Structure formats: C-alpha cells, structure tokens
Amino acid sequence: MNEMMPAVLLDEQRQFVFGQRPVPTPRPEQVLVEVDLCGICGSDLHAADLPQVYRGGFVLGHEFSGRVVATGDDVSGWSAGDRVALNPNGNIDGTCEFCLAGRTNFCRQATMETALGFQSDGGLEPLVVVSPKTLRRVPEGAGRFEAAWVEPTATALRAVRLAGSVAGRTVLVTGGGPIGQLACRLASHFEAARIFLIEPAQERRAFAQPSHVDVALTPEDAAAQLSSADPSALEVDVVLECSGSAAATALALQTLRPGGVLVVVGAGPGSGLDPMTILLKEITVHGSFTYIEEFDDAIELLAAGKIEIADLTTAVAPLDQALAAIDSLRAAKTMKVLVDPHA
C-alpha cells in the first residue's frame, strides 16, 4: 500500500476538502519538490465557481516555493537541495503557435491542462511532482517569504505593465487584497503620480500607507464622490481591477478619464463592463492572464528588496488549518495566509 500524506483539494464535487494523497514518486521526466510555503490566493476562494481554470479532483495551491528532493533520470540542471519557486503555468509545450510567438501565457497545455494547483496537483501538500519547466531558481539571498510571494508578485507586475507606463499618471486599484496591495506598491515603484485604493474591508485599507496609497476609500465613499458636485477628484488615468468583483469593475469604469485604461486581473464571476461607458470614453480594456517574463522579473525585484512583502504576510498556518484560513480570507479578516505543510 502506498504511503499517504495530507492535502487540501478541490474534489470532484467542487468542494474544498482536507484529505489524503499518495506520496508521489517522480517519473523519469519529473522532479520531486518538498513544499516550503504555499500561499492561498484570492482566485482559490472562487475555485468552485471557476470551472474554466480549476479542475476538480486536484490539490490546490499555485503560489508556492520549496526545495528539490529528487529528480527523474531524464532531468538535468537540477539537484537535491536546490531552492525553487514554482511557476504553476510553466509547463509549456514549446511548439504551439503561442509558444512560438513568445506568448506562453496562452499555451493551452501550460495554463488549461497541466497548471499546478488548477488542473494538476499544487502546493497544499508536503510533496509534489512537477515538470522541471515549472522550476525557477531562488537566489540564496532571498528569504522564504520572498520565495513564496513570487507568483502573486508576477501576477501584479504583468497587470501594471499592461497599463503602459504609469509614471506621472493617476492610478486606481480596486480590491485591497494581496494582488491589489502589490499593484499599489509596483505602481509606486514605477513612479505613478497618485494612487487611489477602493477596498470595503477596513482591515485591508489599513495597509494603504505601506502600500504607498495616497487615498483609500470604501466603495460607498467612492460612489458618493463620483455623484458629488466634483467627481473629477476621483478621475484617474489607469484602473487595475484586482478584486474579481463585477460591482467594483462597474464603479472603476466611472472613475476613468476619456482615453483611460482598465486592466482586469481579479478572477471572479460576472463582469461589470458597461459597453456604453467604454464606447463614450474610448476606454482600453486589457485582460491580464498569468505572466510571461514577469515571473523571473518578480524573483529579481523581491530578492533585491525593491518590493516589500513581509508586512503583507499576516499568518503562517499548518496544513490542517488551511480550510479555516480560506474562510478567514473569504471574510477579508486576513491579508495573506502562507501554509507550511510541515508545521
């Protein structure tokens, strides 16, 4: 009988469960990784409602880091003990039209068939087997928290870049969760002139100052400002929609100046996109899906200390408390929970 280990899964009935999985053995083309830390993502909270990307029956967790334990006979370039951050969308086929064009974030194999924590087992378990294509080396100078924050930082970095240069422009971020806070910090790093944040939870608005936010508002405050005698006080050049909320997207559209840019990075049901507003203001709408070179760039930013994440890590939980952590995150009571499968 195979040795078993604990894991957090989205089961076939699309329910979150704490269960058991066999301890994996790498095939010749695979690498066995011991998970160090795995973040719970805002997208994970919506996993049951996102069948487009989350396949039932697999271990959750796509924001994780660890160390190589063993490699299959056909794997080269990696050795036991190597520190790694896992690119969950890294298992590209290399031959599809998108890979050949350098748009690997559209490779179906990497993003819709084998993505770690989505359609194959992820990091909410002690050990996981992966393709070596998903591995990225972590500099020894980077701490364990920085290694675990690479994936969300890459997600936020791509969203900011898709807006074009934000230097000297006004930026609104909707949703003050981890991706939103990172978006604020990255916008500041790239010299945005003024940064607004709309977030309903006071616990998350409290991070406004360390995230370099000039004005933090509740949705109600923002709506009141937009219907006031001077709505121009909340007009912005760029919106980074990080909440996954249709209501937030609808509100964000109202804040954009004519010719503004909306980047949608939050994953959730519904849209909130009003075609007439987009038409009359000639708004450019970008979807922001995963990342390309941003994953490697995020490692460099974090290792160099250019983006601060220590304060955003509000809890480290053992694996058997991951379901409770999901509930806490859904209620916006916690900023970020990193799960330690070995605690």
Domain boundary among 271, 287, 303: 287
Do the domain assignments include residue 244? yes
The band of 219, judged by pLDDT with boundaries at 50, 70 and 90, is very high
pLDDT at 2 over 90: no
The answer on 173 and 144 residing in a single domain is no
The answer on 179 and 93 residing in a single domain is no
Q: Token digits for 31?
A: 């690498």
Which of 337, 290, 299 lies closest to 150 in space, CA to CA? 299
Do the domain assignments include residue 299? no
Do the domain assignments include residue 296? no
Do the domain assignments include residue 298? no
Do the domain assignments include residue 113? yes
The answer on 80 and 100 residing in a single domain is yes
CATH, residue 80: 3.90.180.10
Using one digit for the tens of pLDDT, what is the confidence trace for 315-340?
A: 999 999 999 999 988 888 789 999 99
pLDDT at 299 over 80: yes
Counting residues of the chain whose pLDDT is more than 90, the rounded percentage is: 89
Taking all residues of the chain, what is their mean pLDDT, rounded to a whole number?
95
Q: Is the distance from CB of 107 to CB of 93 less than 8 angstroms? A: yes
Residue 173 burial by CB count (10 A; 0-12/13-18/19+): exposed, middle or buried? buried
Work out the average pLDDT over 290-311. Answer: 97
Using one digit for the tens of pLDDT, what is the confidence trace for 153-190?
A: 999 999 999 999 999 999 999 999 999 999 999 999 99
The answer on 328 and 229 residing in a single domain is no
Q: How far apart are CA 274 and CA 285, in angstroms?
A: 11
Q: How far apart are CA 309 and CA 262, in angstroms?
A: 25
- pLDDT at residue 334, as a whole number: 85
The answer on 167 and 89 residing in a single domain is no
Q: Token digits for 30?
A: 């695979």
- DSSP E strand stretches across 40-82: 58-59, 63-71
The answer on 267 and 243 residing in a single domain is yes
- pLDDT at residue 68, as a whole number: 98
CATH, residue 190: 3.40.50.720
pLDDT at 264 over 80: yes
Instruction: Tell which wins on pLDDT, 231 or 85.
Output: 85
The answer on 141 and 176 residing in a single domain is no
pLDDT at 1 over 60: no
pTM of the model: 0.95
The answer on 81 and 19 residing in a single domain is yes
The band of 222, judged by pLDDT with boundaries at 50, 70 and 90, is very high
Instruction: Tell which wins on pLDDT, 133 or 334.
Output: 133
Work out the average pLDDT over 49-67. Answer: 94
pLDDT at 268 over 80: no
The band of 46, judged by pLDDT with boundaries at 50, 70 and 90, is confident
Using one digit for the tens of pLDDT, what is the confidence trace for 92-131?
A: 999 999 999 999 999 999 999 999 999 999 999 999 999 9
- pLDDT at residue 278, as a whole number: 95
Domain, as residue range, for 183: 156-287
Which of 47, 59, 90, 44 lies closest to 337 in space, CA to CA? 44
How many domains does the chain divide into? 2
pLDDT at 267 over 90: no
pLDDT at 54 over 90: yes
The answer on 268 and 318 residing in a single domain is no
Do the domain assignments include residue 304? no
Q: Do strands 256-264 and 236-241 pair parallel, antiparallel, or not at all (unpaired)?
A: parallel
